[in-house]
Structure 1
Amino acid sequence: MAKGTRFATILDGLEVTMGLGIHPEELAAPQRVILNVRIEVDYPAPPAEDRIEAVLDYDFIRTGIRELVAGRHFNLQETLCEAVAALCLRDDRVCEVTVRSSKPDIYPDAAVGCEIVRGRG
C-alpha cells in the first residue's frame, strides 16, 4: 500500500479488572490492569470530512479489549498484549500497534508490565 497520511490513535490508561497471572493470589481473584494502546494508522489522505467514518474509531478497541478480558484468564501479560495487538490489526488500515500492560498492585512500590510492538509483515 502506498503511504499516505499517518495518524496515531491512542487509548491511554484503560483500567480493567481481570484474571491475569500465575501466582495463587492472582488465580484466586481478578486484579486491576492498566492498558495503553498506540495504533499507527495509514490513510490515503487526511480526512476530508469531520466524520468518524473517515478514521479508525477507538470505540472498537476499547469495547474489544473489555470483551477480550471478560472472556478468559490470561496467565501472562505477554499473551494479553499479543491478543490486544491482534485485535487492533484486524483493521487493514492499521500498520503498527504498541500495547503496554501494567499490574499496578503487585508490589507496594512499583508496577510491573509488558510492552510489545507489532506490525504488518
Structure 2
Amino acid sequence: MSLEDCLIQLDGLSLPASIGIYDHERAAPQPVDIDLLLAIDGTLAVRSDDIRHTVDYDEVVDAIAALLASRHFNLLEHLSQAVLDLLGARFPVRRAEVTIAKPLAVPRARRVSVSRRAEWKREAMKVVAV
C-alpha cells in the first residue's frame, strides 16, 4: 500500500444472481453476498472533498447489479473474476479484493464463498497548488 492509497470497503452487499450448476439454482435467482475492498489513489479526494476524485459507491453497486442481471454464472470463481474485470475497466481502482458468497448453497453451512484479488497499474494523481 502506498502513502496516497485510500481503502474503500463495501461489506455485506446482497444482490440477486442467477448462479449455480444445479437445475434448482438455474430456476430462480438466489442471493449472493459481496464484500469489496478497493484501493484508490486518494491524493485528490482527501483534499478536494469532491466525488469526482474517488469512486462513487452507488455506481459500483449499480454496475455489479447490472452484471449479475445480465446473464447466468455457473461458478462463484468465474463471477468473482467478472466482478474484478468490471471494477478494473470502469473505475479508477489500483487494487481490488472481492469475496462473493452464496448463503443458500450448502444447507449445513452458513455460506460458501470465493475470494479473489487483482491489481492494475494506474498513474498517480497530481495535486496542483492554486
TM-score range, shorter chain: 0.7 to 0.9
The residue correspondences of 1:29-40 to structure 2 (distance < 5 A) are: 29-40=28-39
Aligned length: 119
C-alpha contact 2:32 2:103 (8 A) present in aligned 1? yes
TM-score by length of 1: 0.87
Q: Which runs of 5+ in 1 are unaligned?
A: none
TM-score by length of 2: 0.82
Structure 1: which amino acid aligns with 2:67?
L
For residues 75 and 84 of structure 1, what CA distance do their matches in structure 2 show? 14
Moved >6 Å (runs of 4+): none
Specify whether residues 53 and 45 from structure 1 end up closer, same or farther in structure 2 by C-alpha distance, changes over 3 A only: closer
C-alpha contact 2:32 2:102 (8 A) present in aligned 1? yes
Please report the RMSD computed on the Cα atoms of aligned residues, expressed in angstroms.
Answer: 1.8
Task: Tell me whether 92-101 or 33-42 shows the greater mean CA deviation.
Answer: 92-101
Superposition deviation, residue 108 in structure 1: 2.9
Greater strand content: 1
C-alpha contact 1:61 1:87 (8 A) present in aligned 2? no
Give the structure with higher Rg (CA). 2
Q: Which runs of 5+ in 2 are unaligned?
A: 122-130
C-alpha contact 1:98 1:115 (8 A) present in aligned 2? yes
